[in-house]
Structure 1
């Protein structure tokens, strides 16, 4: 089944894609996220809570503190 994936290099989202489970992206990590989670390119991925942030300090999502 297809899902939403963030393509991540060095902790930063470089792209977002829809892909089938098991799809691999050479040179990057894929992180599946639900539709209710905000994610866009240039965001920072926090492995601890599974969310995507505007800044590397993980303090803002979509400019909301």
Structure 2
């Protein structure tokens, strides 16, 4: 009985260690030529002021529609 409980506890610990409770991602976008841009993800403007380097954090959807609109 003690062996079964130990095995069950070890199995639960190993399962929980591989599980991701909230899958999130991050996105880095930059312009190699220094052109300023505005990023639009799923129809929502991410940065109002055009930038050459942008980091978006805590993205929780598996797929996004992205559009980059350059300043010029």
TM-score (norm 1): 0.31
Larger Rg: 2
Task: Determine which structure has greater relative contact order: mean sequence separation of CA pairs < 8 Å that are 6+ residues apart, divided by chain length.
Answer: 2
Higher fraction of strand: 1
Higher fraction of helix: 2
TM-score (norm 2): 0.28
